[in-house]
Amino acid sequence: MTATEILFWFLSALALFSALMVLVSKNPVHSVLWLIVVFFSISGHYILLNAQFLAIVNLIVYAGAIMVLFLFVIMLMNLNNSTEPQKNSLVKLAGVVAGCLLLTVFVSAVRSAQEIKDSQALMNTGDIGLIENLGKVLFRDYVIPFELSSILFLSAMVGAVVIGKKE
Partner 1 sequence: MIHLLTVDWLLLLEKLILIVIVVMASLVIAMYETYAERKIAAFMQDRIGPNRAGPLGLLQPLADGGKLFFKEEIIPNHSNKILFILGPSLAMLTAMITSAVIPWSGDINLFGRTVSLQIADVNIGILYVFAVVSLGVYGIMIGGWSSNNKFSLLAALRGASQVISYELAMGLSLIAVLMITQTLSLKEIVEQQMASHWNILYQPLAFIIFFTCALAECNRTPFDLPEAESELNMGYHQEYSSMKLGFYLFAEYVNMFISSAIVVTLFFGGYDIPFLDEAAHADWGNWLALAGLVCFMLKIGFFIFLFMWIRWTVPRFRYDQLMDLGWKKLIPLALANMVITGAVILWMNK
| Residues that bind partner 1 in the complex, under the rule CB under 8 A | 1-3, 6, 27, 29, 33, 36, 52-53, 56-57, 59-60, 63-65, 68, 71-72, 75-76, 130-131
List CB contacts of 42: < 8 A, sequence separation 6 or more.
Answer: 15, 58
For partner 1, the closer CB: 84 or 98? 84
How many other β-carbons are positioned within 10 Å of the β-carbon of residue 51? 22
For partner 1, the closer CB: 76 or 91? 76
User: Smallest distance from the beta carbon of 89 to partner 1, in angstroms?
Assistant: 29
What is the chain's alpha carbon radius of gyration, rounded to the nearest angstrom?
20
For partner 1, the closer CB: 73 or 93? 73
C-alpha dist (Å) from residue 133 to 10, 47, 51, 142, 165: 29, 16, 11, 13, 41
User: Smallest distance from the beta carbon of 63 to partner 1, in angstroms?
Assistant: 6
